[in-house]
Amino acid sequence: MLSFPANMNFVSRRSPVVGRKGMVATSQPLAVAAGLEILAQGGSAADAAVAVAAALNVTEPTSTGIGGDVFALYYEAASRRVYALNGSGRAPKALTLERLRREGLDKELPPFHPYTITVPGACAAWCDLVERFGRLSMDRVLAPAIRLAEEGFPVAPITAYFWARGVERQLRHAVNGLELTLEGRAPRPGEVFRNPGLARTFRLVAEQGKAAFYQGPIAEAIVAVVQEAGGCLALEDLAEHRSEWVEPISTTYRGFRIWECPPNGQGLAALLALNIVEGFHVAEMDPLGPERLHLLIEAMRLAFADARWYVADPAQVSIPLEELLSKAYAEARRRHIHPQKATLDVQRGTPLATSDTVYLAVVDGEGNACSFINSNYMGFGTGIVPRGWGFTLQNRGHNFSLDPDHPNALAPGKRPYHTIIPALATHEDDGSLFACFGVMGGFMQPQGHLQVVVGLMDDGLDPQSALDRPRFCILSGEAGGTVALEDGIPLATMARLAEMGHPVRPVTGHGRAVFGRGQVILRDRDTGVLWGGSDPRADGLAMTLIK
C-alpha cells in the first residue's frame, strides 16, 4: 500500500477547471463522479446535488451523512430566483432545561452526549429538493451512492486521517460506533471500505421516499439506539419532522448580491461582516498584509458578537433581520473598528426594530445552481450508529445555549444555532448567476465566505486561486477568540497582528482543517462558461461534464 505525506504541505498549484455543460465541485472525487453521472443522465443541479451528498455519506462519513442536517440554496435560471431550504432538525419534545438541571447538565452538554442528538433533517431535505427541482426519481439519484456502498471504495488520504481521529474520539466509545470501522480501526489510505448497512438505508429511501426514514424500521432503530445510549428522542419526534422552504437573506457587495439561508443558520454572520468590510478599500491593501487582515478579523469579531446572540430558531424567537442587514447598521458597527488595535471585548449591537461538514456546488448546463451543505457536526457527530443501518447520528444540539434567557436556549421542538451555511452570488443589475460557493467547517464558515468573496470580488481571483489563498480563523466563533493564521501568511504579518492585540496562533499541517474546505463554481453570464475550484485542504476536485 502506498504511503502519503504526514502533513498537508502545499507545494504545487492547481488551475481552475473550465467547462460549459455542467460542473460539480466537492471534497471527494468519487462523489464528484456521482454528480456528473446524474447530470449526464439529464438530471438537474438538484438531482446531482443529492447524488453527491449521498455519495459523500459513503466516502466521507467523517463529516457528513443522512444522520445529519442540510441547508441548501437553489438558483433557478429560468426565473433568476433563489430558493432556500432549511433541512435542520429539532430537539426532542422530552428534552428540557429542567431535565438537564436534574441530571447535573445545566452548564454545558458534553459534545457527544445523546442529548445533543436532534432529529436528522438530511433525508427529508434530499427528498424535498428533488421533488421540487429534480427531473429524476430518487432511485436513479441514489444509485451511484448505493453502488459505492455495496461494492466498496478506496478511502482517500485526508479522509483516512480524520477517520482514524474519529475512531478514537467517538466511534470507539459510542453505541454501535465500531460498525463504521474495520475490526475496530479506521481504514487506511487506499483501503477499500464497504458499508452494506448504508446501502440498505439508501435502497429503502429510494423505494419509499422520506417516510422510510422517519417511520418504520429505520426510525425504530434510531429511537432504540438513542434511548439505549441514554437519550430521549422518540418516534413522534421523527414522524413529525418537516423541512422548510424559507426566504433567503442577502446583502449587496461590490455590484453583486450575496445570498445566505436565514437563521437558524449562521449565514447572517457572513452578511454582517461583508456589510462592514464594504466600507473599506480593501482592494488597495496587500491581501496577506496586516492592514487588510486586521480589518477582516475585526469585521468578523463584530459579526460574531451579533450572530451568537441573534441566530436562533425564528419559529420561536423574533429576529430583527432587516435592521441587522441594513447599511446604516453596518456603518454604526464599523465605527467600533480601531485601525491599529484589536477590539476583543466587542459586544452585540442593538438595532432598532420596527416591529466540520461537507459542502458541494453544482451548476447544470442550463445554469441552475445548487449550493448545498450536509453535516454531522464534529466529524462523526455523536458517533452513535442505529444498529445495522450504516450511519452516525449528529450532535447539533450541542450548539444550544443552556442559559434560559438566551434566544438560542434549548427548548423542546426547537432548532439550534446552526453552523452550516451554503451561499450564492448573483449580479445585482440583472439577477443572473455569478457564483455558487461555500466553505465548510464549524464557525469557520462565515469567515471562509468573507475571505472567498473578498478574493473573488475585490481581487478578481479565479475560484481556485481564491480557495488556495491562506486564511485566518477566529477560533470557536467567539468575538474575542484566538485567531488561527494559516501557514503561508507572512511571519511579519503574524507579528504585526499580535502587536495590534490579536491573540494569534500559527497553524500548519493537518491543523489546517480548522480553515475549512471550500468549493466555488463561477458562471460567465456572457458566454455561459463555468469556472470551478476545489479546496486543497481536502481530497476533492472540481470537474466538468463534456457532453
CA distance 396 to 26: 22
Contact between 385 and 179 under an 8 Å Cβ cutoff? The reply is: yes
- Angle, CA 154 vertex, CA 153 and CA 160 arms, to 5°: 120
Q: At what angle do helices 290-310 and 444-453 cross, to 10 degrees?
A: 140
Cα–Cα dist 436/424, whole Å: 5
SS3 484: strand
Answer yes or no: are the C-beta atoms of 47 and 364 closer than 8 Å.
Answer: no
Cα dist. 462→57, 99, 432, 456, 467 in Å?
A: 29, 51, 18, 7, 9
From the candidates 118, 357, 382, 419, give the one annotated as an active-site residue. 357
- The residues facing 18 across adjacent strands are 531
* Residues recorded for the chain: 547
The answer to whether 59 is a known catalytic residue is no
Amino acid code (one letter) for 407: P
Per the listing, cell 463504521 goes with 180
Give the CA count within 13 Å in the CB-facing half-sphere of 12: 2
Give the relative orientation of helices 196-208 and 138-151 as an angle to the nearest 10 degrees: 170
- Which residues are CB-contacts of 98 (< 8 A; sequence separation ≥ 6)? none
Residue found under cell 492547481: 14
Relative to beta strand 504-507, strand 483-486 is parallel
CA nearest to 52, candidates 306, 407, 422, 500: 422
**Residues assigned a catalytic role:** 357
